[in-house]
């Protein structure tokens, strides 16, 4: 009888811990991925812009990335980017392989990012409010 009581208490404790860790929403970590987002990329304040789409999370801090073909006009080579990597410090890097950055952004004033590597062109990445 003590074994059954201990088992019931263990299950209740585990369930309570799960509710605490997941905010009581009943969803596990598989559904906690960052939602998809659409951004506008501009270069040096130019009026030309192109679309960037952050897709599903692949792993912690790494998401799929879609870059519109016309983004090449803003920065040749950026169209090869397939991954969005977000650093613990808030930086964002686009890469072809998930590791080596093609361009790196830091958080800018307001709602968006500004590139710092490479030094030119300076790119602005702003959340598209139509998403």
Domain span including residue 57: 33-127
Contact predicate 20/28, CB 8 Å: no
pTM of the model: 0.70
Q: Identify whether residues 26 and 41 lie together within a single domain.
A: no
Q: Summarize pLDDT for 65-120 with one digit per residue, the tens.
A: 999 999 999 999 999 999 999 999 999 999 999 999 999 999 998 779 999 999 99
Q: Identify whether residues 110 and 46 lie together within a single domain.
A: yes
Q: How many domains are contained in the chain? A: 2
Q: Identify whether residues 28 and 38 lie together within a single domain.
A: no
Q: Identify whether residues 59 and 97 lie together within a single domain.
A: yes
Q: Report d(CA 78, CA 88) in Å as an integer.
A: 23
Structure tokens at 28: 């596990």
Provide the pLDDT confidence category of residue 42 given band limits of 50, 70 and 90. Answer: very high
Q: Identify whether residues 113 and 86 lie together within a single domain.
A: yes
């Amino acid at each position: 009888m003590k074994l059954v009581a201990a088992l019931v208490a263990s299950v209740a404790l585990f369930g309570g811990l799960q509710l605490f860790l997941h905010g009581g929403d009943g969803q596990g970590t598989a559904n906690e991925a960052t939602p998809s987002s659409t951004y506008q990329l501009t270069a040096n304040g130019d009026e030309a812009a192109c679309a960037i789409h952050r897709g599903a999370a692949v792993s912690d801090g790494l998401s799929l990335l879609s870059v519109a073909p016309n983004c090449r006009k803003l920065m040749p080579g950026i169209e090869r980017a397939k991954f969005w990597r977000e650093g613990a410090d808030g930086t964002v890097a686009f890469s072809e392989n998930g590791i080596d950055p093609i361009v790196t952004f830091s958080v800018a004033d307001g709602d968006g990012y500004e590139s710092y590597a490479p030094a030119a062109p300076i790119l602005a990445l702003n959340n598209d409010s139509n998403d």
